[in-house]
A and B are shown apart, each in its own frame.
Chain A
Amino acid sequence: MDIQLKRGLLDVCVLAAIKNEDSYGYRIIKDLKPYIELSESTLYTILKRLETADMLTVRTAEHGGRLRKYYRITEEGVRRIEEFKEDWKEIFSIYQFVIKEDGKND
């Protein structure tokens, strides 16, 4: 997949992974694994970027005698997901156009 495209998708994927309940780093990677491959260092960068953009908040909680960071989506993050859904309706109709044109005989 095109690198730029993947980069844009990963941000929204992470937001979707925390949309319905708070999640933590390793769990986010596992949840996304069937759909898109994500390294820890890439996830770190994405989480930082989303936090700076106020699309998620971070809190530390105790788990099994150690500390773990949990990420929660914000209203801004939910808005970003809605934006993504609208964008992709448009992209899909463009895709259909390309497929149609590509299929025509010369």
Chain B
Amino acid sequence: MTKIQFLLTLNKSLSGLPQDEIEERLTFYSEMIDDRMEEGLSEDEAIAAIGSVEEIVTQSVEEIPLTKIVKNKVKPKRKMRAWEIGYWQLVLPSGFRWRLLLLR
């Protein structure tokens, strides 16, 4: 797999997240791959060393607060008020699997 293919796959897998979050991660992992290659690793070795796309997505999903994912998905016609966000947090079950569902 080339670096570009890896980043494209990652981009696609993270598509539920806000755009700025996706770009930040792509920049981060691209830098990591470049640094390893600069040290002498091949493109394949560098990509293998930084973890699989699955691992990265798992870590991302666990860390993003639920409110951010919901806000991005729902995209209301007007800005959500604080109580509405609180309401959704209460109503939606918390947990990892739910976040994954929302990312689809």
Residues on A close to B: CB < 8 A? 24-27, 39-42, 44-45, 48, 64, 66-69
Residues on B close to A: CB < 8 A? 25, 27-29, 31-32, 34-36, 38, 50-51, 55-56, 58-60, 63
Once bound together, how far apart are the Cα atoms of A63 and B25, in whole Å? 19
Interface of A is mostly: helix
Q: Is the CB of A44 within 8 A of B59?
A: yes
Q: Contacts A24-B31, A39-B59 given; 11 further ones with Cβ under 8 A?
A: A24-B35, A25-B32, A26-B31, A40-B50, A40-B51, A41-B56, A41-B58, A67-B27, A67-B31, A68-B35, A69-B31
A47 to chain B, nearest CB (A): 8
Interface of B is mostly: helix
Q: Is the CB of B38 within 8 A of A64?
A: yes
Q: Which of B28, B50, B63 contacts A69 (CB 8 A)?
A: B28
B27 to chain A, nearest CB (A): 8
A30 to chain B, nearest CB (A): 9
